[in-house]
């Protein structure tokens, strides 16, 4: 919303309609101070009109409804992230009507999260709240998303943490359970996510063509797309060594595993192996990608194998292609 003086000398107020299109109205004033008074009065009228066109709902009730919707649609960890965001969001704002939360308020919240938590958490909260408010529009709770006009938090790029060949050998040497050892070897040779491995079924594996098909039947992948993963010799050997005594491929002593259990066990093994304690099970996926890039595989191919919907996500591994850059400068 802004004021602009026409050639006639009269100020006009420009604002976005509910459909997002820019329109204007005459303030009938040639003096800027009077035009500002018109702007203030018009803004109040517009806010009242907008409130009448939406169904009032408090932040607590809205959070409950959105999380219920999210639980049915998203994975456990995605929904957990939304819950964490709303926990801090509700604490910051209180139980206000969501129509009262402005872009300026969102900016204030994001700045607060940067100082009290981290820039990464602030960025995550900003994305989560924007998604929730986008959902609020077709539900009739909001006419527009206040997050749209808030500048996105830029986070510093972090290099992915991965196991060196030596670290991985040390890790395998201390894993005293064959089920978890098989899972680790399979993960580092396929790049599959932890939950994809936990839910992996034998009927998703084609041993003749040596491929795994993640078909979203037993577990919805993060990208929600069907993904085919070729099995190399190491991964194929893991499957040949495992008996198909259950519909699931990976069990722990005959019982299904949970993510918390695997995370806890891996923390123990990493500590016992005396390697970087920041390494974890997910680092195996980073290791798969990093070793491929170091071996000369293109970023495009690695992106397809990882199931990234945007190749920009895979570009984080590009720094490992140092030889390409060296060959480039050697041409001078």
The torsion defined by the Cα of 169, 282, 256 and 209, in degrees rounded to 10, comes to -80
Is residue 182 in some structural domain?
yes
pTM, two decimal places: 0.64
How far is the C-alpha of 75 from the C-alpha of 194, rounded, in Å? 13
Question: 68: pLDDT confidence band, cut at 50, 70 and 90?
Answer: very high
| Domain of residue 234, CATH code | 1.10.443.10
Query: Do 69 and 135 meet the contact criterion of CB atoms below 8 Å apart?
Result: yes
Do residues 238 and 292 both lie within one domain? Answer: yes
Do residues 196 and 300 both lie within one domain? Answer: yes
For the chain, what is the domain count? 3
Please give the pLDDT value at position 39: 84
Do residues 186 and 302 both lie within one domain? Answer: yes
Instruction: Give, as one character, the DSSP assignment of residue 152.
Output: P
**Domain span including residue 302:** 165-327
Do residues 68 and 8 both lie within one domain? Answer: no
Do residues 37 and 65 both lie within one domain? Answer: no
Do residues 47 and 79 both lie within one domain? Answer: no
Number of H helices, E strands in the chain: 14, 6
Query: Do 286 and 162 meet the contact criterion of CB atoms below 8 Å apart?
Result: yes
Residue 243 reports pLDDT greater than 90: no
Judged on CB neighbours under 10 Å (0-12, 13-18, 19+), 129 is: buried
Do residues 193 and 114 both lie within one domain? Answer: no
Per mean pLDDT, which range of 162-171, 267-276, 322-331 is the poorest?
322-331
Do residues 177 and 321 both lie within one domain? Answer: yes
Is residue 159 in some structural domain?
no
């Amino acid at each position: 919303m802004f004021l602009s003086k026409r050639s006639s000398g009269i100020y006009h107020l420009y604002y976005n309609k509910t459909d997002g299109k820019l329109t204007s109205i005459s303030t009938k004033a040639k003096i800027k101070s009077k035009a500002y008074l018109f702007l203030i009065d018009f803004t109040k009228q517009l806010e009242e009109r907008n409130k009448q066109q939406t169904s009032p709902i408090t932040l607590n009730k809205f959070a409950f409804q959105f999380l219920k919707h999210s639980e049915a649609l998203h994975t456990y960890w995605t929904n957990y992230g939304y819950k964490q965001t709303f926990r801090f969001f509700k604490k910051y704002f209180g139980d206000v009507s969501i129509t009262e939360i402005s872009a300026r308020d969102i900016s204030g919240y994001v700045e607060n999260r940067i100082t009290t938590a981290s820039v990464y958490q602030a960025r995550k909260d900003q994305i989560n709240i924007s998604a929730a408010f986008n959902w609020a529009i077709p539900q009739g709770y909001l006419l527009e998303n206040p997050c749209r006009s808030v500048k996105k938090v830029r986070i510093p790029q972090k290099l992915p943490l991965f196991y060196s060949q030596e670290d991985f050998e040390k890790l395998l040497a201390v894993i005293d359970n064959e089920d978890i050892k098989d899972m680790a070897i399979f993960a580092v040779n396929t790049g599959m996510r932890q939950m994809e491995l936990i839910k992996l079924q034998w009927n998703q594996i084609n041993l003749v063509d040596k491929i795994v098909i993640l078909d979203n039947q037993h577990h919805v992948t993060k990208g929600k797309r069907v993904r085919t993963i070729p099995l190399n010799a190491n991964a194929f050997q893991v499957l040949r060594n495992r008996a198909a005594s259950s519909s699931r491929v990976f069990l722990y002593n005959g019982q299904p595993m949970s993510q918390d259990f695997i995370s806890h066990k891996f923390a123990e093994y990493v500590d016992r192996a005396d390697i970087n304690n920041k390494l974890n099970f997910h680092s195996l996926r980073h290791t798969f990608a990093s070793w491929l890039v170091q071996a000369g595989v293109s970023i495009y191919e690695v992106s397809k194998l990882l199931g990234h919907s945007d190749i920009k996500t895979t570009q984080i591994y590009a720094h490992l292609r140092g030889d390409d850059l060296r060959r480039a400068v050697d041409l001078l």
